[in-house]
Amino acid sequence: MDLKQRKAAAKKSAIARAGRAAKRHPIVKRAFRQLDSLQRMQPYSANTIGALEAEYKRLIKANFGLKALTETPFKVGREALKSDLRRLGIRTWRRQTLSEQKALLADTK
């Protein structure tokens, strides 16, 4: 495989990965919003990622069926969920703006 073919294959792969991520992001965002506020304060902790993974799987099963969890766009692991959180702009409590912190505190009451 020459350089031209490798570049074309890489471009095709990047477009496919971006498409899968675009399908997954709204579901990850919805799953994250459904976590309790204490978990949303520490979005990258092992406990929160585990809860996010469970909520994500629950949403996929409810909306697309059990088989969808084995299909490429929705099959996701813990590292992919962390990456999706970063791409969605979800930050830890200390890195949030004051208005984001106030909104999160309002949810706890």
- Both structure tokens of 87: 């791409």
- What residues contact residue 1 under an 8 Å CB cut-off, 6+ apart? 9
Domain count, the chain: 1
**CA–CA gap between residue 40 and residue 52 (Å, rounded):** 10
Q: pLDDT, tens digit, for every residue of 21-77? A: 888 899 999 999 999 888 988 899 999 999 999 999 999 888 888 777 777 777 888
- What domain range includes position 17? 3-108
- Which pTM was predicted? 0.74
